[in-house]
Amino acid sequence: MKAKSAPPITRIVLYVRDMVKVADFYTKHFGFVQDRSEMPGSLQLVSPVGGCDLMLLQASKGHRMGQSCIKIVFDVEDIEGFKAKCAKEGLKFGTSHPCEGYAYASARDPSKNLIQISSRAFRK
């Protein structure tokens, strides 16, 4: 049950070493569009279909890349078709895992953040 006044999740912040490389990754594989950033050391990526934006922030030397407990999940109706398309573009997802009425597969972005494609939103 949803709370009546729950605020929506609008942005996920990723600390990255190479903002251009990570921005190119999400633009190429998931269609994000670079938006104007208001502060130095940041880059905002906007989804052209709605949902959460990604805010890239410059990681400090103390950040341990890929060590945070985060996973970004993208809804994809055709898991195998999307995996094949991405493989041609250099992004390799792991094994597809079937669940009750859907499937998912995982990979990592250039900063080692865990990403997942899932057909859960399309299950019947």
Give the separation between CA 119 and CA 104, rounded to whole angstroms.
6
In a domain, 80, yes or no: yes
In a domain, 6, yes or no: no
Give the total number of structural domains in the chain.
1
In a domain, 106, yes or no: yes
* DSSP-assigned letter for residue 105: E
9-16: average pLDDT? 85
pLDDT, one tens digit per residue, over 56-86 is 888 888 777 777 667 898 989 999 999 999 9
Q: Give residue 24's pLDDT.
A: 95
In a domain, 81, yes or no: yes
pTM of the model: 0.77
Instruction: Select from 34, 29, 14 the least CA-distant residue to 112.
Output: 14
**How distant, in Å, are the alpha carbons of 4, 14, 24, 36, 79 from that of 75?**
25, 19, 20, 26, 9
Q: Give residue 7's pLDDT.
A: 56
Sign of the torsion angle spanned by Cα atoms 122, 77, 75, 63 = positive
Domain of 26: which CATH number?
A: 3.10.180.10
In a domain, 1, yes or no: no
